[in-house]
Chains A and B, each alone.
Chain A
């Protein structure tokens, strides 16, 4: 049977002889016999690559929702953007793919410099000077930001707008069990955070979404004023594509920016691996989670890059570390740098603008239909929520029969009732439009929804 192991039986025999051993079993003599597996693993025998490929082709066929055949209007932090051949080719270079954490900078300048370029782009898009080298995804980046706020204020109360993606909030709630943070979720009213409805006194962090997960552009100066009043960190979870044209988190006065970087060159990938974007103000640099790459020189005074401020990290500070992150999402960060390099200054503005144009065009066509009404009349950017006369989950199913992944049923996203929705949540559908959608596709969406709701 074929596998990826080089040793011939002669190799094994002579290597064992070199060790003075008779069998491979001798190598495992340290394992108490009481727990040794007598008959190996209960896993089916190995198959050849083509045989395994046939099994996976079956899995693949059973995924009807693929964006290559079902036009994708689902967003919620995962977007169907253009990823050109050149980005795929560069990002799949095996030097990037099969390296590990740049512990030896002399032979890791490629990854280190690519991360440095990525960090520069994250800083520019966030308007904050101290980026890190990536985190797992936006949800876990938010958790790291909350931990930073605790470190900065020594307080436990985290006040989070429910305009933050429901999954990010769910992850924050989970990890709060360990850190004993008190998570206060602020309801939305008419799509906008109702800060007056909660007591923010003694908050460590005030967290806002920009746009919020329903697509709405909120005036962040309200949240910023609360953060300033309470001397809390102001954390903004922002859409990095929209950041190509919108005011940056830094311009709104954020201390910390977190975001989902999937939109920069990573395919939908059924949710991962994605890219947790993170940047903060100078004041917080000693509490920065994860790795950071810095510029320096080598012994011949040539420019060189290296992971730095290492004294914060878990392998050195152990139980006093600011974060437990070790492996991050470097390949996605490198991919993001490549994709942004391809887009360039005006390409990023162009896709951000086209997303907004497409979303507004579709929105305006849809709200004229019977059975469709708006959830809010607040301004939005590239995503919007609609209230339908049928349950949104049912509409998604029926639209799928017409070749359209119509969006996300908000009740599913929230796993039930949620402070972000002050109406029948089952009826709410979240729709996004990317730069890949043509007018013809958008018009088809409108006619298909009309049929479904009729």
Chain B
């Protein structure tokens, strides 16, 4: 290393202040305690049975919980201390893009001028929101090289299914009865699940020894009954599909459409656009590429942008810039219909637009460059312990293998991941993609400093040393976390999904 950075910070003390379980809200409940306070309204307080026929009233009081405000605060604060987060430390969960979420974008979303607006308010009274949506659509199209977009899908998977329905509407309009959609064997599980819900059959295309789509196998799988292909590029291994131009030509030659799964769009911002690669339909995960917070598993947002020939099919109504400069809702001519109860995850959309505005075109390009730089630095730094599944330049994430540790010491990728938790880092993604044995997928993101990357590398070195000295201890890791390894089999064997379930 030309420069040995001092190791950076990690979650070394917080979040954990002990190993005791936190009682549930229901266990804390004491009859007659309460926290709520409501406005004095002066509205006549008639009894419910004077307003509603008794047949509709529940004879049983639905128990919620009875706690004081102080206990409520303590409970959820303690729970928060039992939770790892991006704000606390590095979260290199491959494929999930756990980058820093700017506080500024949260502040934007907390403006009552945005978050106190009813979604059914007339367009004339919510012009600001419509302008946000139109502006975001324009910028997303500029970033992806597409013609128009819907902002309705609430997450990536919702975007996928929307895209497949667009594909279906397009072919049906052309009187074209197509049945199959191709998917690489490295794809996210949402892809095949979405294909089934879109009414198509999945044909899996194998990857070659370089971790890329096998072009010959792809061509063999193509035919006039193929509606399209779903590709992630860079793919889920973190490699760019170098033969994308040939892939696009082959799929288009049989009349199929190319669907771009935008899970990894963050790697190519400003370098190449899906539209220029030949894609017809693109979904974006705003919570990944444009840094909106992941919320413990959502909300996300999964806008879908399309090429010109698909514009008329987009979900509607769509916020639209009118000739007089005002904004209104307009349904595309042959719209597939609504895919969301209202207009999409609007506050997520506003956050993403503010993120794009702060960065600008150049900033977004730098985001991708530094994300790719960090992934490659980490891949290279760890090559002696965790060699890459495919040993060459990767994009924004690197898929490493724990096969050597397993062969020598019986330490699996999962053990390494669990031991990293003890070291104050979130684990990488384990055992995905399915095509890589003992896969550990690291996505450092552009917002981690080289000092933090070095600290992660040193932690992995310590784990490798432990693998040699005391492999058994790694099977028991983690121990310093709020709970140790959990009995997942027991949870599945006897489901306890609520505090009221039989134990």
Contacts and interface: CB of A to CB of B under 8 A. Distances in A.
Contacts of A18: 1-3, 377, 380-381
B161 interface: yes
Interface stretch (B217-225, B343-351, B400-408): B343-351
B42 A439 contact: yes
20 contacts: A6-B447, A29-B393, A32-B242, A60-B128, A64-B126, A95-B85, A107-B83, A140-B341, A178-B197, A270-B117, A270-B347, A271-B342, A272-B340, A295-B496, A299-B484, A310-B492, A319-B202, A328-B155, A342-B35, A354-B43
A239 B52 CA distance: 15
Interface in A349-392: 349-351, 353-354, 356-358, 360-361, 379, 381
Interface residues of B, number: 210
Contacts of A14: 2-3, 450
Interface string A304-315: 111011110111
Given A82-B39, A344-B35, A442-B43, A245 B287 contact: no
Contacts of A425: none
B426 A104 contact: yes
Interface string A1-26: 10111110001101111110000101
Nearest to A147: B197
A397 interface: yes
A174 B128 CA distance: 28
Contact of A269 (B165, B285, B347, B417): B347
A130 B501 CA distance: 9
A191 interface: no
A324 interface: yes
Interface string B344-375: 11111010001011111111111101101110
Contacts of B88: 94-95
A350 to B, nearest CB: 7
A148 interface: no
Contacts of A325: 155, 157
B158 A140 contact: yes
Of all A-B residue pairs in the complex, the 10 with the closest CB atoms, nearest first, are A271-B342, A60-B113, A110-B83, A271-B119, A46-B360, A331-B295, A273-B299, A347-B36, A62-B128, A65-B121
A62 B447 CA distance: 34
B120 A408 contact: yes
A447 interface: no
A62 B127 contact: yes
B148 to A, nearest CB: 16
B199 A179 contact: yes
A347 B358 contact: no
A116 B294 contact: no
Interface string B110-139: 011111111111101111110110000001
Interface in B76-108: 76-77, 79-88, 91, 93, 96, 98, 100-102, 104, 106-108
A374 to B, nearest CB: 15
Contacts of B344: 271-272
A321 B341 contact: no
Given A27-B373, A63-B128, A106-B421, A90 B72 contact: yes
A136 B75 CA distance: 26
A140 B340 contact: yes
Nearest to A90: B76
B420 to A, nearest CB: 9
Contact of A327 (B33, B157, B291): B157
A228 interface: no
Given A116-B498, A270-B347, A61 B128 contact: yes
A117 B142 contact: no
Interface in A28-84: 28-32, 34-37, 40-49, 52-53, 55-68, 70, 72, 74, 76-78, 80, 82, 84
Given A5-B366, A43-B356, A110-B79, A63 B126 contact: yes
B12 interface: no
A101 B348 contact: no
Contacts of B298: 101, 134, 136, 273, 327-332
Contacts of B272: 28, 31, 35-37
